[in-house]
Amino acid sequence: MDATPLYLMTSLALVGSPGPNTMSLTAIGGAFGTRRGVPYMIGLDLGMVAVVALVGSGLWAAILSFPGIAPVVTVVASAYLIYLAYRIATAPPISRMEAPGRAPGVLPGVLLSLTNPKAYVSVAAVVSRFTLLPGRPVADELLKGGLFLALVVIVNVLWLAAGSLLARAVTNPRVGRWVNVTFAAVLVLSVAAAFV
């Protein structure tokens, strides 16, 4: 039986569910708009390419075997997410885009993906659980990684657009400010979830 449909459904559930990457992307879309959020989204996608390569090659497991590395990664990721939440909460409402405010670019997106524990867990969960090409381990890993990354790109576009559409639907600047603050609060909650 072909495991590809189940692999895709499981991957989609993991990739599409709220987490630091998706929530930050939605918040960026809401605070800065789709167009200004694209560089950040590209950074998240590039970071996920590295995560898939690290997990698929087994290098991430080797890195985590060093004592004390996992907590350091979690703290660094959490600190960056809290900083990003602050930037989103203080960004001008999207309906007032003429106001100053600079959206995060490619590098912050890459760094978030590389330090996002959910990213590694999600990749490891599907890569280790499914075999799509039995007897061909290299081709199997490449296919699983490629399919996973395709889903990441599709889902990220949707989360970015959703944040932007939600913010654009709000015409009152005061409500727009609350949208930004709410996005920031959800991002902080995703940080808290990493410690639970």
Per-residue pLDDT tens digits for 80-98: 778 878 877 887 765 544 3
Q: Which of 143, 121, 149 is nearest to 3 (CA)?
A: 143
Helices and strands, number each (H, E), in the chain: 9, 0
Q: Which of 172, 166, 139, 147 is nearest to 23 (CA)?
A: 166
Boundaries of every domain in the chain: 4-194
High-pLDDT (> 70) share of the chain, %: 91
Q: Quick check: 169 pLDDT over 80?
A: no
| DSSP per-residue codes, 87-115 | HHHHSPPGGGTTS------HHHHHHHHHH
Range scoring the smallest mean pLDDT among 72-76, 114-118, 131-135, 146-150: 72-76
46 or 179: which carries more pLDDT confidence?
Answer: 46
Q: What average pLDDT does the segment 115-144 reach?
A: 88
pLDDT of 95 reads 54
Best mean pLDDT range from 13-27, 43-57, 180-194 = 43-57
